[in-house]
Amino acid sequence: MAREKKVEQYDVVIIGGGASGLTAGIYCGRARLKTLIIEQALVGGIATNTNDIENYPGFPEGITGIGLMNLFHQQAKKFDVKFKLTNVKTIDLSGDIKIVETFRNRFEAKTVIICNGSVPRLTGAINEEKFLGKGIAFCATCDAAANTDKEVLVIGSGDAAIEEGIFLTKFASKVMVSIIHDEGKFDCNEIAKAAALANPKMEFYHNTVVESYEGDNELDKVILKNLKTGEKKAIECATCFLFIGYLPNTSLYKDIIDMTDRGYIITDENMKTNIPGVFAAGDVRDKLLRQVATCVGDASIAGVMAEKHIAESEIFEEQIMAKDGIAYVYNAIESDQRYFLSFIEEIEEVYKDYCYHRVDTYKSEGIADRLGVESCPSVVFIKDGKVEKIICGDKCNKDEVRDIIKNNEETKK
């Protein structure tokens, strides 16, 4: 018989414990939300794969990826964020309460922040699956020491490939680099390119791609194919490091969350996805620059928006929908939309049993959305816990509003 899953309730569940997940955790925890981060592998995520982060502000001497992520982790724990080291298997994000399930647990949350990041892209060459973890690697920091005085091959010419390749020269006797482009052409920044070209331990094979990986149990050579000449060359190496880009880790959200053709999650500038109460941050998002600094920017917004979503849900349920009344939905920075406020004060004195709410969309857009208001100003009539009627735009006629309230009050008696 299948074992019953243990159920736990949280304000926020964050899926993924990399730079984005940890930052979202810091913001939610500090806002005193009951927060859980679920991480399937290593807390710190992909940033722990890099030895030297030189462009994250606040560390003029640079810092290791592990060092920086340890600080993020420490800070999240300080705000009482809880961690579960397991992977999320299924989700149901459709209701007001979101369900996130792991092998043993069912977590119920008011909001979910998606921070799944990305996974390294593979070459698709022959025997690749066979040698994953047996000579094919993705993390120079993790595997450099094991390659001391050995010859290694790097695939790719972007920032990660060339910068990590340079780092590997501190350990390996030779770092060969397979580059798909013509002689002298790299995808990385100019500083990295110049440093690599000047490094006597580095050797470049332009116009090449991996044809196959060879070896018995462990990888011992990689066959490179020259795209121009068709010539094949066997490169003997202890490890082949793949740095040819990343793919978003979004299969869990297929057909649920809106994504680009390449599988990146689409959000607005407030990190909202197409599902209310579900936010996304970091490398998993469709955006221009995937770096720790941009993850921190995204995730701090997502954390604040999660807090706002919860606060607005509470106001909506416990105040606005709890009693018959009206909500005047307006934009306070538009002076011509403030005219109705004095009228509300007037009728508040006459029909005292009625509830009156002023909803400024500038501050509380989520409440306006929940009320189903599409344009401002609007007057929303709430009766028996439901929206009874919405009068919008220039049609917010004071006499009509007064008549509806009067009529509702009289039928109550």
Ligand X SMILES: Cc1cc2nc3c(=O)[nH]c(=O)nc-3n(C[C@H](O)[C@H](O)[C@H](O)COP(=O)(O)OP(=O)(O)OC[C@H]3O[C@@H](n4cnc5c(N)ncnc54)[C@H](O)[C@@H]3O)c2cc1C
Residues that bind ligand X (CB under 6 A): 15-21, 38-41, 45-47, 49-50, 53, 55-56, 87-88, 115-118, 160, 164, 249, 252, 282-283, 290-293, 295
* Least gap, CB of 165 to ligand X (angstroms): 10
Pick 13 or 219: Cβ nearer ligand X: 13
Pick 118 or 337: Cβ nearer ligand X: 118
* Least gap, CB of 280 to ligand X (angstroms): 9
The sheet carrying 378-383 orders its strands as: 355-360, 325-330, 378-383, 386-392
Pick 298 or 360: Cβ nearer ligand X: 298
Bridge partner list, 259: 265
Pick 106 or 398: Cβ nearer ligand X: 106
Pick 42 or 392: Cβ nearer ligand X: 42
Pick 45 or 377: Cβ nearer ligand X: 45
Retrieve residue 217's tokens: 């149990």
Q: DSSP of 225-274, one letter per residue?
A: EETTT--EEEEE-SEEEE-S-EEE--GGGTTTS-B-TTSPBP--TT-B-S
Pick 39 or 324: Cβ nearer ligand X: 39
Amino acid 309 reads H
Question: Cβ distance 281 to 24 under 8 Å?
Answer: yes
* Least gap, CB of 47 to ligand X (angstroms): 3
For the chain, give the number of residues.
413
Secondary structure class of 77 (helix, strand, coil): helix
Q: Are strands 105-114 and 278-280 parallel, antiparallel or unpaired?
A: parallel
Q: DSSP of 349-383, one letter per residue?
A: HH-TTSEEEEEETTT-HHHHHHHT--SSSEEEEEE
Pick 23 or 313: Cβ nearer ligand X: 23
* Least gap, CB of 46 to ligand X (angstroms): 4
Pick 164 or 360: Cβ nearer ligand X: 164
* Least gap, CB of 104 to ligand X (angstroms): 13
Q: At residue 234, what are phi and psi to the nearest 5 degrees?
A: -90, 125
* Least gap, CB of 10 to ligand X (angstroms): 15
Bridge partner list, 99: 92, 108
Measured over the CA atoms of residue 313, residue 319, residue 320 and residue 321, the dihedral's sign is positive
* Least gap, CB of 368 to ligand X (angstroms): 31
Pick 101 or 220: Cβ nearer ligand X: 101
* Least gap, CB of 207 to ligand X (angstroms): 24
* Least gap, CB of 294 to ligand X (angstroms): 7
Question: CA-to-CA distance for 343 and 321, rounded, in angstroms?
Answer: 22
With both helix axes pointing from N to C terminus, report the angle between 339-350 and 398-412 in degrees, rounded to the nearest 10: 20
In 141-207, where do the E strands start and end? 151-155, 174-178, 202-205
Amino acid 119 reads V
Question: Cβ distance 241 to 120 under 8 Å?
Answer: no
Question: Cβ distance 100 to 91 under 8 Å?
Answer: yes
* Least gap, CB of 261 to ligand X (angstroms): 20
Pick 21 or 325: Cβ nearer ligand X: 21
Q: Are strands 98-101 and 105-114 parallel, antiparallel or unpaired?
A: antiparallel
DSSP letter for 389, please: E
Residue of 18, 25, 24, 75 whose CA lies nearest to 50: 18
* Least gap, CB of 33 to ligand X (angstroms): 19
Q: For the chain, give the longest Cα–Cα distance.
A: 92
